[in-house]
Amino acid sequence: MLTESERSQVVEALLQANQTKIQTTRPSALFPHIEFEDSYAISAAVAQQTIASGARLIGYKVGLTSIAMRRSSKIDEPDFGFLYDHFLIEDGARVPHANYCVPRVELELAFILGQPLRGPGINMLDVMRATEYIVPSIEIIDTRVDEPRKIFDTIADNGAGAGIVLGGRPLRPHDVDLRMVPGILYRNTEIEETGLSCGVMGHPANAIAWLGNKLSGLGYALEPGQMLLAGSFVRPVWAEVGDTIRADFANLGSLAIQFV
């Protein structure tokens, strides 16, 4: 377990990296005795200071929702991060690559809540009842800490959350089989990744249920209007200057951005 002084040192380094877009030394290299409780406390402290500086919290993201990713991270549950209003990017936008350290992209389903979700005991059906819309999205992930990262580093670094693009065709949650939404991720003219939404914990609503229950244990609740990213069902793809990224969700439509 880290001391308060050690946690504060990591918080300040991450806040600086968020500003400068220059990676900092990963917490696990500075403090090998870091634990999961430390990582979440650091992430929460960064969030508090980010909000105090003027950012607005608009929701949360879930990561490590596939078995393969959790096994590679040597962790037996997903993780989460915070979403802010300045993360939002319009469909079709030209995105400055310099706004990030080392950006990558994933495709995900975003749940827009119409009713509150308060744990413990949230299940998939509770999520479906509370959700107003499902929206296709591209998530931009970024790592403000250097390699080789461990799960403690990723959690402390807001689950690598950095940007959100919404587009396509928003649908009511019961108007689509959320287990079988296809996704194709293009970089320029090449198909880089394909997947099905059932890769997210069998059903993306299960990821949102996990999130609500996890946050309940930390004193948070999910509120109407919040945006919740359920986790990627493809591997992340690197984005370089000049790359056009397009995500195709079949009947749910497509969306795209270009890094400049």
User: What six digits make up the tokens of 165?
Assistant: 């693009």
pLDDT in tens, the chain (260 residues): 999 999 999 999 999 999 999 999 999 999 999 999 999 999 999 999 999 999 999 999 998 887 656 665 566 678 999 999 999 999 999 999 999 999 999 999 999 999 999 989 999 999 999 999 999 999 999 999 999 989 899 999 999 999 999 999 999 999 999 999 999 999 999 999 999 999 999 999 999 999 999 999 988 889 999 999 999 999 999 999 999 999 999 999 999 999 99
**CATH assignment of 57-259, among 3.40.605.10, 3.90.850.10, 1.10.357.10, 3.20.20.70:** 3.90.850.10
Continuous H helices in 56-203: 67-73, 124-130, 151-156
100 three-class SS: coil
Q: Domain ranges in the chain?
A: 57-259
Q: Which H or E run includes 127?
A: helix 124-130
Q: Model's pTM, two decimal places?
A: 0.95
Cα separation, 12 vs 93, in Å, equals 31
DSSP secondary structure code for residue 252 in this structure: G
pLDDT at 75 (0 to 100): 64
